[in-house]
């Protein structure tokens, strides 16, 4: 299962916290509200009974009850009885069985009519008349039903609150992590495009994320300077070494042709000439790659018959392959034309073919194919040689990298780096598939000429 992003995880934690906080708050409020409402109701029962002491009098041989004595208030019923239990004033609830025995000053709960009731009785003394009973009654479940209705409404509102909390939390978290996404996007673009001049460019903040972005920008600047110095050094060194290398090459050629040395002297001069030629080729490749890194390696764009070029390279390399008893096979679709630099495209084909021959198996084969697929020319160079270890598939494109210098055939490890650059410079790509001990297949793709009918 794919792990959730930090934004979603923070949102979930935020929502869970808000739900728990709201639930605990509502629980506390309902509990406190229930206790307060219940106590308020009981206090009202007692106060109504106590008020009756002032509102009942005996005058002129009659018992008078003041009209200000409330017989019903906010769910509380008040009634007055003589000592025999005969009602004199007030009301009782319809569902309440009024046969309960009087109990002076006791607040109690009784069951009647399938409901619970709070009951409070007080015996008062009326001057010149005698004792009377005053009773207050209220439904015990009235408070609970009111709170239950509120709780039901709260449960209906709670999901809406959860959704709102989740949405608000998500947008707040997303906004808070926007700088992180910008850092990630910039780093990805630099990694994919290799453009170290790009910067995150966060400004105006002082928190840790903005500080991190500033440090990344400073690091990118240092990396850019380091790579620029490396490119400049490669360019300068390649350029400066070309002249002495050319002098060594020409002088060794002159000595071999005009002085006619013999024995060890001739062998030494031939070795110098061979190594100078290798150095000249290496410097030429380095200079081309250095200029390509700086965008100063121009392409001589022209229509190129890639099929014909591949046939020419196959015929040229067949002699070198025959020396190792390797057969060069071709499967080339004719008439495939691309717009590109003929010299560089030839170098791409030569490097791939020579690489296949150098790492091929004696008595084996190298197969060069070229076909049109849609708007692209797709070619492969395959062999049944020693193959490439899986952990080295990404390293073979690095400059000067060699898995086994003993099988490099005298190369410097720049051939495949040039192949990748040439393919990408023509708007294409190159990939490799390999099985150790079974061989490798390099596949390159170059867009066909736009005017060509496909």
Answer left, alpha or beta for residue 61, where phi above 0 means left and psi between -120 and 50 means alpha: left
Work out the average pLDDT over 235-245. Answer: 68
**Model confidence at 159: pLDDT above 70:** yes
Q: Which of the two residues, 205 and 114, has the higher pLDDT score?
A: 114
Work out the average pLDDT over 154-159. Answer: 76
DSSP H or E segment with residue 369: strand 365-373
What is the per-residue pLDDT for 452? Answer: 45
Tell me the HSE value of 454 on the side-chain side, using a 13 A CA sphere: 17
Work out the average pLDDT over 288-293. Answer: 65
Count, residues in the chain: 454
Instruction: For residues 384 and 360, give the distance between their C-alpha atoms in angstroms, rounded to a whole number.
Output: 6
**Model confidence at 53: pLDDT above 80:** yes
Is the torsion defined by CA of 154, 159, 164, 169 positive or negative? positive
Q: Which of the two residues, 296 and 309, has the higher pLDDT score?
A: 309
| Among the ranges given (4-13, 36-45, 233-242), the one the predictor scored with the smallest mean pLDDT | 233-242
Q: Which of the two residues, 258 and 336, has the higher pLDDT score?
A: 336
Q: Which of the two residues, 328 and 59, has the higher pLDDT score?
A: 328
What is the per-residue pLDDT for 439? Answer: 92
**Model confidence at 62: pLDDT above 60:** yes
Note the pLDDT tens digit of each residue in 63-76: 888 877 888 888 88
What backbone phi and psi angles, to 5 degrees, belong to 328?
A: -95, 120
What is the per-residue pLDDT for 172? Answer: 81
What is the per-residue pLDDT for 1? Answer: 40
Work out the average pLDDT over 418-431. Answer: 90
To the nearest whole number, what is the mean pLDDT of the chain? 81
What is the per-residue pLDDT for 290? Answer: 65
What is the per-residue pLDDT for 146? Answer: 64
| Among the ranges given (240-249, 281-290, 343-352, 392-401), the one the predictor scored with the smallest mean pLDDT | 281-290
* 100 C-beta neighbours (distance < 10 Å), count: 15
- Under the banding of pLDDT at 50, 70 and 90, the label for residue 106 is confident
Tokens 């490119």 belong to 231
**Model confidence at 236: pLDDT above 90:** no
Residue 360 is classified by DSSP as S
Instruction: For residues 188 and 442, give the distance between their C-alpha atoms in angstroms, rounded to a whole number.
Output: 27
- Check if the beta carbon of residue 332 is closer than 8 Å to that of residue 307: yes
What is the per-residue pLDDT for 2? Answer: 54
Q: What percent of the chain has pLDDT over 70?
A: 84
Work out the average pLDDT over 27-52. Answer: 80
For the range 141-149, what are the long-range contacts, defined as Cβ-Cβ under 8 Å and sequence gap of 24 or more?
A: 141/115, 141/116, 142/41, 142/75, 143/34, 143/37, 143/38, 143/41, 144/34, 146/37, 147/30, 147/33, 147/34, 147/37
| Among the ranges given (140-149, 173-182, 319-328, 367-376), the one the predictor scored with the smallest mean pLDDT | 140-149
What is the per-residue pLDDT for 398? Answer: 80
What is the per-residue pLDDT for 454? Answer: 41
| Among the ranges given (77-81, 303-307, 409-413, 423-427), the one the predictor scored with the smallest mean pLDDT | 409-413
**Model confidence at 395: pLDDT above 50:** yes
**Model confidence at 333: pLDDT above 90:** yes
Domains annotated for the chain, with CATH where assigned, are: 6-165 (3.30.450), 189-294 (1.10.287.130), 302-447 (3.30.565.10)
- Under the banding of pLDDT at 50, 70 and 90, the label for residue 371 is very high
What backbone phi and psi angles, to 5 degrees, belong to 306?
A: -65, -30
Instruction: For residues 54 and 150, give the distance between their C-alpha atoms in angstroms, rounded to a whole number.
Output: 38
Model confidence pTM above 0.75: no
- Under the banding of pLDDT at 50, 70 and 90, the label for residue 453 is very low
């Amino acid at each position: 299962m794919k792990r959730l992003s930090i934004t979603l995880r923070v949102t979930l934690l935020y929502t869970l916290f808000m739900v728990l906080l709201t639930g605990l708050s509502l629980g506390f409020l309902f509990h406190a509200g229930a206790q307060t409402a219940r106590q308020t109701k009981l206090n009202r029962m007692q106060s109504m009974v106590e008020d009756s002491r002032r509102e009942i009098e005996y005058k002129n041989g009659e018992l008078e009850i003041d009209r200000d004595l409330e017989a019903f208030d906010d769910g509380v019923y008040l009634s007055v009885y003589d000592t025999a239990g005969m009602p004199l004033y007030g009301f009782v609830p319809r569902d309440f069985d009024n046969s309960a025995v009087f109990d002076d000053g006791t607040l109690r709960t009784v069951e009647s009519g399938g409901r619970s009731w709070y009951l409070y009785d007080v015996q008062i003394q009326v001057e010149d008349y005698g004792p009377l009973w005053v009773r207050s009654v209220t439904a015990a479940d009235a408070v609970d039903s009111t709170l239950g209705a509120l709780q039901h409404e709260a449960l209906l509102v709670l999901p809406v609150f959860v959704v709102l909390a989740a949405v608000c939390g998500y947008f707040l978290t997303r906004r808070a992590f926007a700088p992180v996404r910008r850092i990630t996007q910039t780093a990805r673009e630099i990694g994919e495009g290799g453009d170290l001049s790009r910067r995150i460019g966060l400004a105006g903040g002082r928190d840790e994320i903005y500080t991190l972005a500033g440090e990344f920008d400073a690091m990118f600047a240092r990396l850019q300077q380091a790579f620029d110095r490396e490119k400049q050094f490669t360019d300068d060194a390649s350029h400066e070494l070309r002249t002495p290398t050319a002098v060594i090459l020409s002088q060794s050629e002159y000595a071999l042709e005009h002085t006619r040395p013999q024995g060890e002297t001739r062998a030494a001069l031939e070795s110098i000439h061979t190594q100078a030629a290798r150095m000249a080729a290496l410097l030429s490749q380095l200079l081309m790659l250095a200029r390509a890194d700086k965008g100063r390696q121009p392409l001589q764009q022209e229509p190129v018959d890639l099929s014909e070029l591949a046939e020419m390279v196959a015929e040229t390399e067949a002699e070198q392959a025959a020396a190792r008893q390797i057969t060069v096979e071709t499967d080339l679709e004719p008439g495939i034309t691309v717009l590109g630099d003929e010299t560089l495209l030839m170098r791409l084909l030569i490097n791939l073919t020579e690489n296949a021959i150098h790492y091929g198996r004696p008595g084996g084969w190298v197969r060069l194919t070229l076909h049109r697929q849609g708007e692209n020319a797709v070619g492969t160079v395959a062999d049944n040689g020693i193959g490439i270890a899986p952990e080295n598939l990404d390293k073979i494109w690095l400059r000067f990298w060699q898995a086994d210098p003993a099988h490099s055939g005298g190369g410097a490890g720049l051939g495949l780096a040039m192949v990748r650059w040439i393919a990408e410079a023509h708007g294409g790509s190159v990939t490799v598939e390999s099985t150790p001990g079974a061989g490798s297949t390099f596949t390159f793709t170059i867009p066909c000429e736009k005017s060509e009918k496909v």
